[in-house]
């Protein structure tokens, strides 16, 4: 019995990480209906960026990853803003093909440049023992400190993003261009700038997710597509346009994978995919849909 409780708890915590992967994508989906097929590769790029920054900063290992994450956030925002403003804005339209092909091309470029720079070896960000520390709960159950921390950050980010979306001026701009771009333009919003802001913020989330992912486990240049699929599944399971939904979607995916892995290691990822497909069949709008 403890074994199963352990599995569920691990799954929930894993789901927190998946939710962090997904929130950036959820924001981009929600604001401009853009499918960024390089999303997972940008998470991996962020992880490698943090890895290099940790080496460059030279702080003690307990502090270095957090300093690296802090340094990465403005860079990520700039990259996201620039990418949207100067590349992706030009691919948006009724036809999804250009944006899909361009982001897919970016994915291939990122994967292969990372492979060239860092080789195919898996790397991990040194965090001074945080990745193996644990917190005991109950008699014979303990959870990892870092996964717990990641889950806490995921919840905080979901709350923060939902607040940003619902209660702030920039969130109002996001909702306005999402609902009716032309009407928003008439009200004085520059949709190119608003889109670029959305991608910039999404990339901040990507940088947080990537650094934490690199601290928790090993990353290698070819990992991106798998993360893209998890993120996508979490968004669709949770329902479009709600960050709490995305958090719930990530947790459902994490728990499903954990249960699958426990039954048979070969079927863990498979179980997650199948639950997603079943969701499409029986509840295609997701659990907590807000927008269409």
Partner 1 sequence: MSTAPIAFEVSRATRASRIGGAAAVVFVAFLASFPWWADHGWMREFNEMACYLIFAMMWNLLAGYGGMVSIGQQAYLGLGGYALLVMGNFGGVNPFVAVPIAAVLTMLVALPVSKIAFRLQGGYFAIGTWVIAEVFRLSIANVSAVGGGSGTSLTALRGIEKATRVSVTFWLCLVAAVASVALVYWFLRSRQGLALLAIRDSEIASESQGVNVRATKLGVYLVAAFGAGLAGALYFLGNLRISPDAAFTVNWTAFTIFIVMIGGIGTIEGPIVGVVLFWLLNKYFSEYGTWYLVGLGLLAIVVTIRFPRGLWGYVAHRFDLNFFPVQRRLVLHEPPKD
Q: Which residues bind partner 1 (CB under 8 A)?
A: 33-35, 37, 87, 90-91, 95-102, 104-109, 111-113, 115-116, 225, 228-229, 232-233, 236, 264, 266-267, 269-270, 273-274, 276-277, 280-281, 284
Query: Cβ 47 to partner 1, closest distance in Å?
Result: 19
Cβ distance to partner 1 smaller for residue 12 or 236? 236
Q: Which residue, 146 or 227, is less far from partner 1 as judged by CB?
A: 227
Residue whose CB is less far from partner 1, 189 or 222? 222
In the chain, DSSP finds a helix count (H) and a strand count (E) of 11, 2
* Residue 187: exposure state from Cβ atoms within 10 A (0-12, 13-18, ≥19): exposed
Question: Please, what sign has the CA dihedral across residues 110, 34, 156, 79?
Answer: positive
Cα 19 to Cα 11: distance, rounded to the nearest angstrom = 12
Residue 148 CB, nearest distance to partner 1 (Å)? 29
Q: Compute the least distance from the CB of residue 227 to partner 1, in Å.
A: 12
CB within 8 Å of 30: residues ≥ 6 apart: 165, 174, 178, 240, 241, 291
Q: Are 40 and 174 in contact (CB under 8 A)?
A: no
The owner of tokens 């701009």 is 173
- Using the minimum distance from each CB to partner 1, give the nearer residue, 167 or 292: 292
Q: What tokens were used for 35?
A: 């499918």
**Nearest approach, Cβ of 231 to partner 1 (angstroms)?**
9
Min. distance of Cβ 33 from partner 1 in angstroms? 7
Give the whole-angstrom CA distance, residue 144 versus residue 103: 35
Name the CA radius of gyration of the chain, rounded. 19
For partner 1, give the closer residue by CB, 68 or 79: 79
Q: At closest approach, how far in Å is the CB of 208 from partner 1?
A: 22
Query: What is the residue whose two structure tokens read 């969130």?
Result: 171
Q: How far is the CB of 171 from partner 1 (least distance, A)?
A: 23
* Four-point Cα dihedral 102, 104, 108, 114, nearest 10: 90
Nearer residue to partner 1 within complex by CB, 236 or 252 = 236
- Taking the least distance from each CB to partner 1, the nearer of 66 and 104 is 104
Q: Would you say 20 and 39 are in contact if contact means Cβ atoms under 8 Å apart?
A: no
Q: How far is the CB of 215 from partner 1 (least distance, A)?
A: 26
Here the tokens at position 118 are 């860092």
In this complex, which beta carbon is closest to partner 1, that of residue 95 or of residue 182?
Answer: 95
141/247 Cα distance (integer angstroms) = 24
């Amino acid at each position: 019995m403890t074994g199963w409780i352990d599995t569920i708890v691990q799954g929930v915590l894993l789901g927190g990480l998946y939710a962090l992967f997904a929130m950036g994508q959820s924001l981009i989906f929600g604001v401009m209906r853009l499918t960024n097929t390089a999303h997972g590769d940008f998470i991996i790029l962020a992880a490698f960026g943090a890895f290099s920054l940790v080496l460059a900063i030279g702080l003690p290992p307990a502090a270095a990853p957090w300093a690296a994450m802090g340094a990465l956030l403005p860079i990520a925002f700039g990259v996201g803003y620039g990418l949207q403003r100067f590349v992706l804005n030009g691919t948006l339209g009724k036809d999804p093909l250009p944006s899909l092909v361009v982001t897919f091309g970016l994915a291939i470029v990122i994967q292969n440049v990372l492979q060239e720079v860092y080789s195919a070896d898996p790397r991990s960000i040194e965090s001074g023992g945080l990745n193996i520390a644990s917190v005991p709960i109950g008699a014979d159950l303990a959870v990892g400190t870092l996964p717990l921390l990641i889950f806490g950050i995921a919840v905080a980010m979901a709350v923060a993003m939902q607040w940003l979306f619902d209660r702030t001026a920039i969130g109002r701009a996001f909702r306005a261009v999402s609902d009716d771009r032309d009407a928003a333009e008439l009200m004085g919003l520059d949709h190119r700038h608003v889109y670029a802001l959305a991608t910039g913020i999404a990339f901040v989330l990507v940088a947080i997710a990537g650094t934490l992912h690199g601290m928790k486990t090993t990353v290698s240049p070819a990992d991106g597509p798998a993360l893209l699929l998890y993120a996508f599944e979490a968004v669709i399971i949770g329902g479009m346009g709600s960050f709490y939904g995305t958090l719930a979607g990530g947790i459902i995916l994490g728990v499903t994978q954990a249960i699958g892995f426990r039954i048979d290691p070969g079927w863990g990822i498979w179980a997650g995919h199948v639950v997603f497909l079943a969701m499409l069949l029986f509840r295609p709008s997701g659990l907590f849909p807000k927008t269409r």
